[in-house]
Amino acid sequence: MTQTSPFMPRAGVLAVVRRGSDFLLIRRANPPDAGLWGFPGGRIEPGEPLLQAAERELQEETGLCAKATHVADVFDSLHYDPDGTLTFHYIIIAVCCTETAPASQIPCAGDDALECRWFSYKAITELGATASKRAASLAKHILQEAHIPENQT
């Protein structure tokens, strides 16, 4: 791209919560990825610590309380207009979160989530074009990190 963007990249978080080999996904209400399934997340607010941002976004979008434990992955999210103009650039930090009381928590879509529910890795791979671009690869990465074979999901 030869144009210079009028804005700086922004930082965002994804909260990755796993129950066994299932992952909690939301269907997004707003751009980017409006209508697509993906991990809960959003912008890191000024002065907000990274792990705290993941916990907050998870709670806002699903009602679940969790403890953010570590960064699982970092990647760019670049979106362009049809004419090639950069519309936004986020640096996305995927954070693994562990539920504080998994047996008593039922996810409920809130904030900018239309729906939320648990998906196996296989179900995530079958979402195809209805999933955010990196949902399946991020889930696979998390399973590998936890030493859970994909064929057990």
CATH architecture of 10-152: Alpha-Beta Complex (3.90)
The pTM of this model reads 0.90
Enumerate residue ranges in the chain where pLDDT < 70. Answer: 1-6, 151-153
Rounded CA separation 18/36 (Å):
19
Is 26 within 8 Å of 135 (Cβ atoms)? no
> Residue 152 has what pLDDT?
65
> Residue 153 has what pLDDT?
58
pLDDT digit string, tens, across residues 27-41: 999 988 899 999 999
**Which stretches does DSSP call E strand in 44-112?**
66-80, 86-99
